[in-house]
Chains A and B, each alone.
Chain A
């Protein structure tokens, strides 16, 4: 157990340090989602009442697209200098590597969300009518849902030609229930018309199911040669 957390912590700290120095993933994500905000604003130009209904969808679609740019770089980094091959022959558990990568991505996407959400609020004049604190569990569970499958499929698409294109093709169909719950839950809270409890429970189920599936199958994906 100790070695599991040791490997997780070491890999995650290394990733965060790399990101802190280069800021590759975060900068591209931030600029990308800023563009999404601006383009959506020009294409819809909504009133305050309308925006309450659509902004949940816009926010999450923006984050979904932006997170793909970060997820694509997760494993590509390890291909240089055969780092991934070194992992494969090392005695460290495969799942520790996966969890470290997923947690690292979770932190990056959370930072993105924390920085971009105020912009959405400003540009679309959003005022929350429902219980606003429920947005937090939706954000946490939703981000984990995107990131855990994204990390897994990014590892999977490493083994394909044109892997940058493969990741969204694999990730988006599987993410549909998570995206539906995130969007519907956020809209429910923003409009205050219905309860978001069902969607939070659904997101939790999604997270538990797919985290288990990822952990069960990641070793196979890593060692598939």
Chain B
């Protein structure tokens, strides 16, 4: 594990540089927008990464809450399986298909629904106990950073193309902004909360936030959107050469996000070990506290 980190870092740097080269040089210029459009190679991958991280945060939080009692743990497991199976079947029923927005493919929705049980069990297996909460805080923090990139690069692109920095009431812009606000309030709660109950409160807030997002989306349903249609799974279309560059860029961003999350997770792990050590030390009085004197260089094991 210790050796993997620098190797992955070098790989990410190379991939990011390659993605930048592809985005600026190789990708063809847009017929209508000119070179301004090239910002999507940063905007769209950041958005995908941010949404993925918020999704991970939600799954980790709900699992943290469910694991509090054995009965809810079992119930949650079956509910997640039911959501996965039921959701996939529902996506291919004609009455449900009619409800989907035009251009959205049922297979894309089914894949997304299927991700819920997959992520749930994967995360539960890889991050037992308190590590679920560490994963939640890590993904929220890094997700907010990527979401901020989305919210900054969007107006930079919109100004020359739309003529305005921000389209008030636009469905996609508004829901992303609200998502960002919810997760900033999540981080504020974590910062301001006193130590022992923070995890539970934060997990509850994350669940509230996740419930809020679809409602935000529907509350501005009637407002028209100016935002281009989604490229994957939506009604938007794109030159295959552009899509190729976009996917490379996304790979680079995913690697980068993974790297940042990994170091943040290690930091959180060490932080808690030290806190625990201090607690043990104060419990055992002046006696030896073996875990308190952790050298910071020790990597996660």
- Chain A interface (Cβ < 8 Å from any Cβ of B): 149, 156, 159-162, 166, 169-170, 172-174, 176-178, 180-181, 184, 198-199, 202, 205-206, 209-210, 213, 217, 220-221, 224-225
With A170-B189, A220-B65 known as contacts, the answer to whether A213 contacts B216 (CB < 8 A) is no
Judge whether B207 is part of the interface by a CB distance below 8 angstroms: yes
A160 with B211: in contact, given A176-B181, A220-B204, A224-B197 (CB under 8 Å)? no
CB of B200 closer than 8 Å to a CB of A: yes
From B208, which residue of chain A is reached at the shortest CB distance? A174
- A206 contacts B215, CB within 8 Å? yes
Q: Which residues of A contact B33 (CB under 8 A)?
A: none
User: Are A180's CB and B219's CB within 8 A?
Assistant: yes
Instruction: Give the contacting residue for A181; candidates B207, B209, B219; CB below 8 A.
Output: B219
**Total contacts A-B at CB 8 Å:** 90
Q: Give the residue of B68, B178, B192 whose beta carbon is less than 8 angstroms from that of A173.
A: B178
Interface presence of B153 (CB below 8 A)? no
Question: Bound complex: CA of A217 vs CA of B206, how far in Å?
Answer: 12
A174 touches B182 (CB 8 A): yes
A213 touches B211 (CB 8 A): yes
Convert B62-74 into 0s and 1s, putting 1 for each residue whose CB lies closer than 8 angstroms to a CB of A: 0001001000000
| Contacts of B174-224 to chain A: CB distance below 8 A | 178, 181-182, 184-185, 188-189, 192-194, 196-197, 200-201, 204-205, 207-209, 211-212, 215-216, 218-222
B208 touches A210 (CB 8 A): yes
Interface centre among B178, B184, B221 (most CB of A within 10 A): B178
- B47 to A: closest C-beta gap in Å: 19
Contacts of B181 in A (CB 8 A): 172-173, 176
List the B side residues contacting A221 at CB < 8 Å: 200-201, 204
- A217 x B216 contact (CB < 8 A): no
Contacts of A209 in B (CB 8 A): 211, 215
- Cα distance A206–B219 when bound, in Å? 10
Contacts of A225 in B (CB 8 A): 196-197
In the assembled complex, how far is the CB of residue A194 from the closest CB belonging to chain B, in whole angstroms? 8
- Cβ A176 vs Cβ B65 within 8 A: no
- Are the CB atoms of B192 and A160 closer together than 8 Å? yes
Report the 4 A-B pairs with minimum CB-CB distance, sorted nearest first.
A224-B197, A177-B215, A173-B181, A177-B219
Instruction: Name the contact of B189 in the complex, choosing from A166, A206, A210 (C-beta under 8 A).
Output: A166
Chain B contacts of A162 at CB under 8 A? 192
**Chain B residue contacts of A172, Cβ below 8 A:** 181, 185
B215 to chain A, nearest CB (A): 4
Interfacial chain A residues near B201, Cβ < 8 Å: 156, 159, 221, 224
| Residue among A156, A169, A225 with the highest chain B CB neighbour number at 10 A | A156
Query: How far, in angstroms, from A160 to B178 measured CA to CA in the complex?
Result: 23
Q: A169-B185, A202-B215 are in contact. Are A180 and B220 (CB under 8 A)?
A: yes
The answer to whether B216 touches A176, judged by C-beta atoms less than 8 angstroms apart, is: yes
Q: Give the residues in chain A near B65, CB-CB below 8 Å.
A: 217, 220
Bound Cα distance A176, B185 (Å): 13
With known contacts A173-B181, A213-B208, A217-B65, A160–B215 Cβ distance under 8 A: no
- Asked if A210 contacts B178 (CB within 8 A), the reply is no
Best-surrounded residue of B182, B184, B196, B219 (most CB of chain A within 10 A): B219
Contact between B197 and A159, CB atoms less than 8 A apart: yes
